Amino acid sequence: MSRMSVLLRGCWLALVAAAVAPALQGCVPLVAAGAVGTGALIAEDRRTSGTYLDDEGIEIKAVARINEKFPDDTHVNATSYNKVVLLTGEVPSEEVRRQVGDIARGIEGVRIVDNELAVGPVSSLSARSSDTYTTSRVKTRFIDARKFQVNHVKVVTEAGVVYLMGLVTREEARDASEIASTTPDVKKVVTLFEYIQAPKENQ
Domain range enclosing 57: 50-119
Confidence of residue 39 (pLDDT cuts 50, 70, 90): low
- What is the 3-class SS of 139-176, one letter each residue? HHHHHHHCCCCHHHCEEEEECCEEEEEEEECHHHHHHH
CB atoms within 10 A of CB 54: 19
Top pLDDT among 169 and 27 is at: 169
* Digit-coded pLDDT (tens) for 119-144: 999 999 999 999 999 999 999 999 99
**Average pLDDT of the segment spanning 95-116:** 98
Please give the pLDDT value at position 24: 39
Judgement on whether residues 137 and 190 belong to the same structural domain of the protein: yes
Q: What is the CATH number of the domain that holds 56?
A: 3.30.1340.30
Q: Which among 160, 170, 146 is positioned nearest to 190, based on CA atoms? A: 160
Instruction: Confirm whether 131 is domain-assigned.
Output: yes
> Residue 148 domain-assigned?
yes
Give the mean pLDDT of 36-42.
60
Residues 38 and 54 in one domain: no
Residues 174 and 190 in one domain: yes
Residue 8: inside a domain? yes
Taking the C-alpha atoms of residue 10 and residue 90, their distance in angstroms, rounded to an integer, is 37
Q: Are residues 131 and 113 in the same domain?
A: no
Per the structure, how many domains does the chain have?
3
**What pTM does this model have?**
0.79
Same-domain status, 160 and 183: yes
In a domain, 140, yes or no: yes
